[in-house]
């Protein structure tokens, strides 16, 4: 099929007298190529997210239980489509580079129930942390490392599905934390040689004991990842409170994490920190419960902390020579620029830093492919504009060259006649 047909462009046929001054056919091929700038193919599209299908109503995982309240029951509803967080984190592509094998992530929370779906055989517990009445710790652990699919084969797993989980109690059995209990949990995780310590808790005050525990973890090369703010309660005011400090996220050496939702914003009334190191998906996230096969949903920085902890496990698995500090630096240096830099898991695994000799350069697996989205005309217009400018310059140069040759030919013919 002629190259001109797909674009509907047909170059004019030069006359016999001007054939040697005509624009070369290769330039027309270039013109046709620029006209046919490709849009994104189906292979480039992200997997269908939860927002693209029918509305699925899931129960909310609680952060704590009131006095006398029963333990969190199993969810009657199972998620059937890919959560929106998978596309944002690029998990299908990420898992070609790392799945977190060989790394243990300690979840210092309400415990992790043995029946948490997708974690069977990969959970160790410190003390009584193998039980979880509340369900929050089990949900967080699932976001970090669950390896599970729906009945239809839809991926509902966590960020690092080959990582191990260490369940550590950071609260009382009802989900209420305090600095002393949390400090003991951090030390226990460090003694167990966890590569990453996920702390979905944010306390309004610290203590010398808690600060010392964080330093102890750093001395044992454990990367501490903590929520920058508490999760918003079920009923919140539309007026956000002034930014504040919370612990252990505010301690030196802790990677503090803030949340954002599918629209890129945060819920009304959500607390704001004085500062945070990274932002990750944390609003309307979907994960497993402590019992049963159903799914729960949750909103808050505690769940964004789980995503970053999973990403840290991926990096430490792919680059085992990196220290905890170097891993944190890699995660923040490769993040999307924003007021609070946003986690870019794929870049954290593949980008070669300018200054970090400890990170080997990954072997390229395929060539670079430029793909322009059909939904966003901006990149296409830019490509067409740049291509048009380049083409115009090439054609103008060719035309000028042809004109010079024509003048020379006319002068030569006139000289012969005289």
Is residue 267 a part of any domain in this protein?
yes
- On whether residue 416 sits in a domain, the answer given is no
- pTM of model > 0.85: no
Assess contact for 88 and 74: CB atoms under 8 A.
no
User: How would you write the pLDDT of the chain (418 residues) with one tens digit per residue?
Assistant: 333 333 333 333 333 333 333 434 443 333 333 333 333 333 333 334 444 445 668 999 999 999 999 999 999 998 889 999 999 999 999 999 999 999 999 999 999 999 899 999 999 999 999 999 999 999 999 999 999 887 677 788 999 999 999 999 999 999 999 999 999 999 999 999 999 999 999 999 999 999 999 999 999 999 999 999 999 775 555 566 789 999 999 999 999 999 999 999 998 889 999 999 999 999 999 999 999 999 999 999 999 999 999 999 999 999 999 999 999 999 999 999 999 999 999 999 999 865 444 444 443 333 333 232 334 444 444 444 545 555 556 556 666 666 656 666 666 666 655 5
How many domains, in total, are found in the chain? Answer: 1
CA–CA distance, 126 with 50 (Å, rounded to integer): 35
Length of the chain: 418
Q: Answer for the pair 283, 346: CB distance below 8 angstroms, yes or no.
A: no
Report H helices in 206-300: 208-219
Task: Identify the CA nearest to 313 among candidates 18, 7, 102.
Answer: 102
Q: Please report whether residue 24 resides in a domain.
A: no
Question: Pairing relation of β-strands 285-288 and 295-298?
Answer: antiparallel
What is the model's pLDDT at position 241? 77
* Helix locations, 176-288, DSSP H: 179-191, 208-219
- Which whole-number Å values give the CA distances from 403 to 160, 383, 409, in the listed order? 65, 30, 10
Evaluate whether residue 384 is within a structural domain: no
8 Å CB contact between 114 and 329: no
pLDDT at residue 56, as a whole number: 67
Evaluate whether residue 415 is within a structural domain. Answer: no
The answer to whether 94 and 349 have CB atoms below 8 angstroms apart is: yes
Residue 149 has a pLDDT of: 80
Say how far residue 168 (Cα) sits from the centre of its chain.
26
Per-residue pLDDT, 240: 62
- Written as one string, the DSSP assignment of 93-154 is HHTTT---TT-EEEEEES---TT-TT-TT-EEESGGGG--SS-HHHHHHHHHH---B-TT--
d(CA 392, CA 398): 10
Task: For residue 358, tell me if it sits in a domain.
Answer: no
Domain of residue 108: give its range.
46-350
State the number of CA atoms in the 13 A half-sphere of 33 facing the CB. 10
DSSP per-residue codes, 50-68: GGGSS----PBPPS---TT
Please report whether residue 40 resides in a domain: no
Half-sphere exposure in the Cβ direction for 130 (13 Å, CA): 9
Supply the pLDDT for residue 194. 98
CA distance 110 to 131: 8
Q: What is the DSSP string of 280-292?
A: EE-SSEEEE-SSS
- Report the candidate in 201, 176, 186 with the shortest Cα–Cα distance to residue 65: 176
For residue 363, tell me if it sits in a domain. no
What CATH number does the domain containing 167 carry?
Answer: 3.40.50.200
Task: Identify whether 248 is preceded by a cis peptide bond (ω within 30 of 0).
Answer: yes
- Helices 301-318, 136-145: inter-axial angle, 10-degree rounding: 40
Catalytic residue IDs: 109, 136, 302
- The three-state secondary structure class of 316 is helix
| Bridge partners (DSSP) listed for residue 297 | 60, 286
Q: What is the pLDDT of residue 229?
A: 97
- The burial of 344, by beta-carbon neighbours within 10 Å (0-12 exposed, 13-18 middle, 19 or more buried), is given as buried
Q: 222 near 325, Cβ under 8 Å?
A: no
């Amino acid at each position: 099929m002629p190259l001109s047909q797909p674009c509907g462009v047909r170059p004019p046929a030069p006359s016999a007298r001007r054939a040697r001054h005509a624009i070369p056919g290769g330039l027309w091929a270039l013109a046709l190529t620029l006209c046919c700038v490709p849009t994104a193919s189906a292979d480039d599209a992200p997997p269908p997210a939860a927002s693209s299908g029918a509305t699925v109503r899931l129960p909310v995982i609680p952060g704590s239980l009131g006095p006398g309240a029963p333990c969190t029951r199993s969810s009657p509803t199972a998620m059937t489509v890919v959560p929106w967080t998978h596309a944002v984190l690029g998990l299908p592509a990420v898992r070609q580079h790392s799945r977190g094998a060989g790394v243990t992530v300690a979840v210092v929370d309400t415990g992790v129930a043995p029946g948490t779906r997708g974690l069977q055989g990969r959970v160790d517990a410190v003390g009584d942390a193998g039980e979880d009445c509340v369900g929050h710790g089990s949900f967080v652990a699932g976001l970090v490392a669950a390896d599970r699919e729906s009945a239809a084969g839809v991926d509902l797993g966590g960020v690092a599905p080959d990582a191990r989980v260490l369940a550590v109690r950071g609260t009382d059995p009802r989900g209420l934390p305090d600095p002393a209990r949390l400090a003991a949990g951090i030390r226990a995780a460090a003694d167990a040689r966890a590569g990453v310590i996920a702390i979905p808790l944010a306390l309004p005050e610290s203590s010398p004991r808690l600060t010392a525990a964080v330093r102890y973890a750093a001395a044992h090369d454990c990367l501490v990842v903590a929520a920058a703010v508490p999760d918003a309660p079920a009923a919140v005011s539309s007026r956000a409170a002034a930014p504040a400090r919370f612990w252990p996220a505010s301690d030196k050496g802790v990677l503090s994490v803030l949340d954002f939702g599918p629209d890129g914003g945060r819920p009304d009334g959500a607390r704001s920190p004085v500062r945070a190191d990274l932002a990750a998906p944390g609003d309307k996230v979907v994960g497993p419960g402590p019992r049963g096969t159903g799914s729960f949903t949750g909103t808050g920085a505690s769940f964004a902390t789980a995503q970053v902890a999973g990403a840290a496990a991926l990096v430490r698995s792919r680059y085992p020579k990196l220290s905890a500090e170097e891993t944190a630096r890699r995660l923040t240096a490769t993040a999307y620029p924003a007021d609070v830099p946003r986690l870019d898991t794929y870049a954290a695994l593949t980008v070669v830093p300018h200054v970090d000799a400890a990170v080997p350069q990954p072997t390229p697996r395929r060539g670079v492919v430029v793909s322009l989205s059909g939904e966003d005309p901006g990149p296409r217009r830019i490509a067409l504009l740049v291509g048009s400018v380049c083409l115009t310059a090439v054609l103008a140069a060719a035309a000028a060259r042809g004109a010079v040759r024509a003048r020379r030919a006319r002068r030569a013919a006139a000289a012969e006649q005289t």
